[in-house]
Amino acid sequence: MLEGSILQQLETAHRQSTRPIHLGVYYKNTLVSLCHALEDHILTDDGTPLVITAFQQGKWYLQEANRYADIAKNCREIAIMAAPDAGFSEHPTSQLPNIDLVALDPADPVAQEWHLIILSPKYTAMVLCQELSEADYGSAGLPTSDLERKFYGLWTFEPELVRETVELAIAHIKLYNPELATKLTTHKQAIQTSIGTPEKLSAVVSRVVDYLQTGQENLAIPAAQRQQALDRNLVSNEIQAFLRMAQLMDLADLNNPMAAAEVVAISETIGQLLDLPAWQLKRLRLAGLLHRIDPLQQAESILTPGTSTRYQEDVSSCPLTCPLVPGAQVLRTMPRLRAVAQIITHQTEWWDGTGEPAGLAGDEIPLESRILALVADFQRRVNQQKSANKSREEIFTQALDECRQQQSSRFDPKLVDTLTLLVMGLQQGLDLPVMTPKVSSGIWLLNSHWDSHSKTSEEISSYPK
């Protein structure tokens, strides 16, 4: 990374922290789609955000200047950094009262960066990248297609990280324009940000995924190998969009902020005890990471008034396509996540058929959904018991007993037996690795099996007795 760049300052500040920043490599076509999605979302937001951008060169700003004239109508202030080119400051958009240009010295490391930082009372978002150097491209050399240019960095919705980056950007702007820096600081202090609501985050993520998919469809690069690399980069970022939303929802739950990571650790262990194949464990892992996205209790808002959340169609004709859970519907916008959407949708089914949304019973419920339902409930109960000043053994015993009370009614009895074996190990000192995902790369979660149907217990050779 370039010494003195905003990205380098942010990464250095977090290098020894408990939450180091995981950086990834992004093609230009991916960043264009990301930035356009986040910029256009401003047009639908009434929070009048503060926006700080870096365009590398004035010519890139000129390509977006007309868009920024529209965006400025919904912003309290926009600060644009770029190395000046012909026409950089003459464009009419630059004359708007709430847009300020910062002409960077071409030798400034920030002149090699591409930033979009949005600080709104309702949500936060940013793209923070810098272009790879010629040496970074290695033996392949510089790309011949503009869309294949690569950038190193991150994008996120995390409020604290965005606010920290805003402060770094303002400090850099102060070197050029102290008066503007003071004005930006005043705006920043006036904006009380909070972690976005599930509805707000769902809207942002849906737009990001839509734009990534549209950007992918509009590519016209003839070389198949290069096209495949670009496709994989886009798909990885679509997954990242969902993972980032899930992370924020966990952070918003101050009483249980590690829910997703712990559910994944327990689910994977149960899957291994059941001898599930690697591809199914990966699918279960992603479902665990995303399992709290827009839960079922919010489904009523999209139904016809007066109807029940119970699925009204014949479940035997279409047992795994229930469309009622908003969060799962967001996942279905990406074809490779439709199987995960099924798993998450049906985690609220009950073994005895009295659950929702489709009223599935027994082996009709996808196996991963049954595992997720049991593990999520167990993890929540364990977390509740931690504050009761009980021993490790007592905590696990109490949580397991409460799950057993719903054996054969809510939960698959054989899975409860498997969980019992795992709890015995936990009580004897077994530690499960709990790791948060490196959201800078999500492509490892996908493979050719993902579009296949979720398995039922009849397809598993045997459960542990």
pLDDT of residue 50: 96
pTM as predicted: 0.67
How many Å apart are CA 110 and CA 280, to the nearest integer?
Answer: 43
How many Å apart are CA 384 and CA 250, to the nearest integer?
Answer: 15
Find out whether 149 and 226 touch, Cβ atoms under 8 Å: no
pLDDT of residue 333: 60
How many Å apart are CA 433 and CA 448, to the nearest integer?
Answer: 27
Q: Which residues contact 295 (CB under 8 A, 6 or more apart)?
A: 325, 327, 348
pLDDT of residue 350: 95
Spans of all domains in the chain: 6-250, 255-303+318-459
pLDDT of residue 58: 74
For the chain, the farthest-separated pair of C-alpha atoms sits apart, in whole angstroms, at 76
Residue closest to 326 by CA, chosen among 284, 297, 365: 297
Find out whether 34 and 208 touch, Cβ atoms under 8 Å: yes
Q: What is the DSSP letter of 132?
A: P
pLDDT of residue 442: 40
pLDDT of residue 436: 60
Under CATH, domain 255-303+318-459 is a member of which superfamily?
Answer: Hypothetical protein af1432 (1.10.3210.10)
Structure token digits, residue 379: 């993890």
pLDDT of residue 303: 27
pLDDT of residue 162: 92
Find out whether 366 and 328 touch, Cβ atoms under 8 Å: no
How many Å apart are CA 269 and CA 415, to the nearest integer?
Answer: 12
HSE-CB at 312 with a 13 A cutoff on CA atoms is: 6
How many Å apart are CA 20 and CA 121, to the nearest integer?
Answer: 25
DSSP string, 325-366: -HHHHHHTTSGGGHHHHHHHHGGG--TTS--SSS---GGGS-
- Averaged in consecutive runs of 10 residues, what is the pLDDT profile of the chain (465 residues)? 90 84 81 87 87 85 87 95 81 92 92 92 89 80 76 86 95 97 95 65 72 59 48 60 71 78 92 92 88 52 31 35 54 71 90 91 94 95 83 90 95 96 86 62 38 40 35
